[in-house]
Structure 1
Amino acid sequence: MNEITLHDGRALAWHEFGDAAGRPVLFFPGSSSSGLAGRGIDAPAQAAGIRLLSIDRPGLGHSDPAPARRLVDVPDDIAELLDQQGLERVGVLGHSAGGATALAVTHRLPDRVTATVIGAGSGPYAEEWFRAEAEIPGMSKTFYGLARRAPRVFGAVLQSSTPRTAKSIDRTIGMISRGDSPDAVYARTHPDETRAALEAVADGFRQGSRGPTEDARVVCLPWGFRVEDVHGHVEWWHGLQDGNVRPAAGRAITSRLPDVTAHFVDGGHFTLLDGAHPIWEALGSS
């Protein structure tokens, strides 16, 4: 684990994986996940020649909270990280909820981003057009509504439903491995990577439920910028069998991004990070 002190005294932490001498790429993992999530993609990052800096967003893992922040504010922390580490330009990889942060960084720091690659990114739930087009399941609508309007209730539900011990993680792996969906197959064939992803979520609760709650709220509340104003090139990948973030959500976002190459391919939510997936080619050649 690595850590810097930001200008306001907060700690910003990250974990490094992949090739230490490779091209620097920032990784923003899914909701509630600390930078430990990068452990599950260490091998493909190394094979692609990528130095992966896997970020603990505010309030997750070892990073201090940033109360009342908006998504548009998060890149200010990233700019400080790049300055302190002497990194002029970096690639950006965002998965699921981390895709929203990747878009924010590309929007605010266009001259410092060499490539933006997003796998099944979350959209701006506060925007009416997104809610209308994204085919959001009813349960998710309830969940997102709690995050926006009843954060304490949301935090309690989130904490009670998140596996945070070795035994509960084992049980969860057993449950999500059942069936024939792409993500179930992925969990069966990539048990170590699946465990790494679940352990990263548990680590996201290191400081309690407030950090994960705020992490979700930042995506659900107004972002502070429009998708249409993200002018850097984005490579968007989305699994056609994704049950977490439906393909319709990806199509709604990519239809509004000014400069995007959209790939809708066979696969689920997590198979996009498989080491054999072409998503790594775009990052490795950036």
Structure 2
Amino acid sequence: MGSSAVETLVLPDGRRLAYATYGDEDGAPLVFHHGIPGTCFLGSLFENAAREQGSWVIAPTRPGYGESDPHDTTLETWATDCEVLADHLSLDSFAVAGFSGGGPFALAVAEQSDRVSAVGLVGALVPENDGGLLETLSRVSPALEATLCVVRWVARVRGPEFVLGQFTGETVDSSTASAVSQDFRRALAGRPTGAVRESRLFANEWSLPAPDVPVRAWHGVADENVRIDPVRAVAADRSTVTLSEIDTDHLGALLTVREALLDLAVTGVANE
């Protein structure tokens, strides 16, 4: 599985925003939002498919993860950051996608920008989902930070199998296992400020952005990270959202629909 060098953009307030690109730079652009925790490296899962389909995947790292500077991120501030990135890359029109905790951020970008053509969500977090222990710990930042540091240490000692176990019970190929494991470790390198900030953000009351563009959502019926019932409720309530249920789990859903997400960038419609 290929990888791209991490690049950085200096935002108007002086912060660094890291990102990586995968696939064909002349292809239809898809801005992919990683989960919590995560970095731009998760976009490497799209490398081969993007090259085959002639698409360009742009994967930014949100503040406080990897090489991106920390910030008191909100959905609105992230949408502004992403607009700057789109300007930097001269994107006139693009689709956005969000996996897991990246889903609300993708929706926020689509709600604020008139350049977004379509949205793809996979295993996306919605307000009614209960984060369990993580949500409880997120109300006390030192406790959450300490827990994440322990998780980082265990991931380093036990390797990719431990990391994969946090996202899927299915067997994946070695390149996928390596990519997911590296992304997880990079996201928690140093102080895990991004994960702490975003966990606290979603532990409090928040509203799911509602862009006017079409939203295509996929969710694994066996997803234990983000329960499907609240997602079904959102899809039933919003005419712009089309939900497809997949017989798999959290990471399994992302691996299953990679090509469909790239279709969104090309045509605005996901072919299955």
> TM-score surpassing 0.5?
yes
Name which of structure 1's ranges 193-202 and 74-83 shifts more when overlaid on structure 2: 193-202
Distance (whole Å) between structure 1 residues aligned to residue 39 and residue 254 of structure 2: 16
1:282 aligns with 2:240: no
Q: Which residue of 2 aligns with 1:159?
A: 149
Query: Retained in 2: the 8 A contact 1:169–1:195?
Result: no
Paired residue type of 2:48: A
1:168 aligns with 2:153: no
CA 1:285–1:48: 2 relative to 1, 3 Å: farther
CA 1:207–1:31: 2 relative to 1, 3 Å: same
Tell me, which stretches of 5 or more residues in structure 2 are unaligned? 1-5
Cα offset, 1:103, TM superposition: 1.1
Cα offset, 1:164, TM superposition: 7.1
Distance (whole Å) between structure 2 residues aligned to residue 106 and residue 276 of structure 1: 20
Q: How many aligned positions are there?
A: 262
Cα offset, 1:232, TM superposition: 2.0
4+ aligned runs moved over 6 Å, structure 1: none
- Local SS of the residue matching 2:71: coil
1:115 aligns with 2:111: no
Identity of matched residues, %: 24
Q: Which residue of 2 aligns with 1:189?
A: 172
- Local SS of the residue matching 2:168: helix
Q: Deviations over 1:86-111 (max 9, x none)?
A: 112111011000111111111111x1
Query: Retained in 1: the 8 A contact 2:37–2:187?
Result: yes
Query: Retained in 2: the 8 A contact 1:2–1:14?
Result: yes
Tell me, which stretches of 5 or more residues in structure 1 are unaligned? 125-129
1:231 aligns with 2:212: yes
CA 1:16–1:157: 2 relative to 1, 3 Å: same
Paired residue type of 2:177: T
Name which of structure 1's ranges 56-65 and 247-256 shifts more when overlaid on structure 2: 247-256
Paired residue type of 2:63: P
2:36 to 26, 31, 34: 31
Q: Which residue of 2 aligns with 1:248?
A: 229
The TM-score with structure 1 as length reference comes to 0.83
Distance (whole Å) between structure 2 residues aligned to residue 93 and residue 228 of structure 1: 14
The TM-score with structure 2 as length reference comes to 0.87
1:54 aligns with 2:59: yes
Cα offset, 1:171, TM superposition: 4.5
Cα offset, 1:144, TM superposition: 0.7
1:86 to 50, 65, 90: 90
Q: CA RMSD in A?
A: 2.3
Distance (whole Å) between structure 2 residues aligned to residue 31 and residue 222 of structure 1: 18
Query: Retained in 2: the 8 A contact 1:38–1:54?
Result: yes
Cα offset, 1:252, TM superposition: 2.7
Distance (whole Å) between structure 2 residues aligned to residue 212 and residue 43 of structure 1: 28
- Local SS of the residue matching 1:14: strand
Q: Which residue of 1 aligns with 2:137?
A: 146
CA 1:75–1:51: 2 relative to 1, 3 Å: same
Distance (whole Å) between structure 2 residues aligned to residue 70 and residue 277 of structure 1: 27
